[in-house]
Structure formats: structure tokens, C-alpha cells
Amino acid sequence: MNLNLTPDAGQSVVDNPLHLAALYRTGYGKRWNSLREASKQLLSFNMRASANRIQQAVKVSEFPDEILNLFRQAGIVNRTARELIRAKNEQGLDRLTIRAGTIDPAGKSRTQILSLLCGNEGAGSSYRAYTNERPIVLNERYRDGLRSGLWSSTREAAEVMGVTQSRIAEAAMVAALPEEVQALFPGQSLTSAIGWQLVQLTKLRGSRAVREVAIEARASIPRLSRQQLMNRFAGLKGKGVDVKVKRAAGRLVLEFHCDADDPANETRLSMIAMWLRDVKPNAR
């Protein structure tokens, strides 16, 4: 098998999932015996393709001809492959195959064909945005995509899902919070804004401290409100604490009233000040 390709020619193979899948099968058992080995070997021949990308290409190449033939003229690129795999995972291959039989690809762009095939005729693009998803759900979707070969990096995932890479990174940090903390925010109540605050508080106080607070709060009767929970995580406990946010002269003013005789309050206030300086103002 001759792999002496120019950089441009090598990249054109990598950018076409069907060509990449064919190349992988040709070299399997001769030049490589795994996806990871293939990725390393191809790199030495001017072809940069991660193991996940090769796996994605192989999966798409196994789609029925009824689907692949729709893209005979428009072609398939890596982004198309990711969306096809996503649609298969969500809708099933049988449904896609049936729908493919109703589509006339003549005169249509790759995006238009993909939109029709995935059942998104009313959308200008088949790439859905997940901007309103809670961080735990977003992190699960990102990891599912890695496992299924939809994407191989946060950059690719962000492009497909219509979110920023930092949003995916923040979702991963929220998902890494102690289980005891997450359990206090069931369902969809753990928003990005609350999650980011908890991440910052965990950095300041440590996982052990916030875990202990969560265990104590869970046993509290009556159940604590969301604000009371956040006060506990910030180290504020008791009825002598009053926090208010007011608008004055076009600015937001935070008023914090507490017992001056409590020696721990000065430390708590210093910690909160550090936390506020690090909180992103546009966190959702």
C-alpha cells in the first residue's frame, strides 16, 4: 500500500470520511491493528486523523447505500458524518433509511440533504444548539458524543452543538462536583449559574468541606431554600445574616449585614469577596 502523499492530498483523504474508512480497512492487519495505531501511522504520512475520527468514518461507511447515495454529488465531510451518527443514535437507522427513499438530492446542497434526512426541514441548519441545557445534561451529551464518535474534541463538539468550548469545560467542572452537592439540586434545578458558583466555592473551601455542608444540609428539617443552601456553602449560617442587592446610580450594590461580634464573620466576608472577584459576570 503506497502512502507517499503530498500534504494536500493526504489531508483530502482525511477530510473525506468514506475515503478515510476505505484507507483504514486497506491497512488493517498490514500496517496497523487498531484505530490508535492507524492514527499514529497516518500522521507520519501527512494525514492527521484521531482514532475517534477514524472510528466515526468507519461507522458512517457502514450506512446503507440508500443514505450514502444521497451524498454522491454533494459529498460527505467530517461534520456530516458526526450529524449522521447523531441522527442514527437518536432516531434509528431504519427511520433514516425510509426517509432517504423520499428525498431527491438533485440540486440540493449537503446541508439541505442532511436537514431533510434528519427531519429538520424547517431549520436553516441541521446542527442543533444546546445553549439552554443544564450543565449535567450537557456534560453527559458531550461524553456520549465522544464514545459514539460524533466528535473527538471540545472544539468539534462545540461546533456541532452550537455552544462555546468554555461552556463545555464549565459543564464538566459542574459534573465533577461531589455527588452529595449535586443531590441537593434535583432535576433541572442545577443551572449553569448555580453550578459555576458551587465550583468556585468548592475551589475556595475544598471538596471535603462542601461535601460535609451538603450532608448536613440534606438532613436539615425543614428543607433549606436555594438561597439558604448557597449561604451554607459560603460558610454563612444563622439568622443574624442579611444580604441584599440594590441598584444605585446605575450600579449594583451588595449589602451584607452580620454580627460584628462573631470573629468568624470577618474570615467569611474575606472569602466571599475573593469568590465574587472570580465569578464570571455573564455566567448563566
Report pLDDT digits (tens) over 93-130.
Answer: 888 998 898 889 998 889 889 988 987 754 434 344 45
The rounded distance, in Å, linking the Cα atoms of 282 and 280 is 6
All 3 cell numbers of residue 146? 465522544
The pLDDT score that the predictor gives to residue 240 is 58
Report pLDDT digits (tens) over 12-44.
Answer: 778 899 999 999 999 999 999 999 999 998 888
Q: How far is CA 215 from CA 165, 204, 232, in A?
A: 32, 18, 11
**What 8-state DSSP symbol labels residue 28?**
B
User: Over pLDDT 70: what percentage of the chain?
Assistant: 77
Are residues 110 and 25 part of one domain?
A: yes
Are residues 75 and 12 part of one domain?
A: yes
Domain presence at residue 125: no
Are residues 245 and 219 part of one domain?
A: yes
Are residues 182 and 249 part of one domain?
A: yes
Domain presence at residue 207: yes
User: In the structure, what pLDDT confidence band is assigned to residue 265 with cuts at 50, 70 and 90?
Assistant: low
Determine if residue 107 is left, alpha or beta; phi over 0 gives left, psi from -120 to 50 gives alpha, anything else beta: left
**For the residues of 218-271, what is the DSSP string, one character each?**
HT-SSPPPHHHHHHHHTT--STT-EEEEEEETTEEEEEEE--TT-THHHHHHHH
Cβ neighbours of residue 46 under 8 Å, at least 6 residues apart? 5, 6, 7, 9, 10, 11
- Residue 72 forms beta bridges with which residues? none
Domain presence at residue 155: yes
| Structural domain containing residue 194 | 177-278
All 3 cell numbers of residue 85? 451518527
Q: Taking the alpha carbons of 206, 209, 215, 217 in that order, is the dihedral positive or negative?
A: negative
Question: Total structural domains in the chain?
Answer: 3
Domain presence at residue 122: no
When pLDDT is averaged across residues 260-283 and rounded to a whole number, the result is: 62
Are residues 168 and 186 part of one domain?
A: no
pTM for the predicted model, two decimal places: 0.52
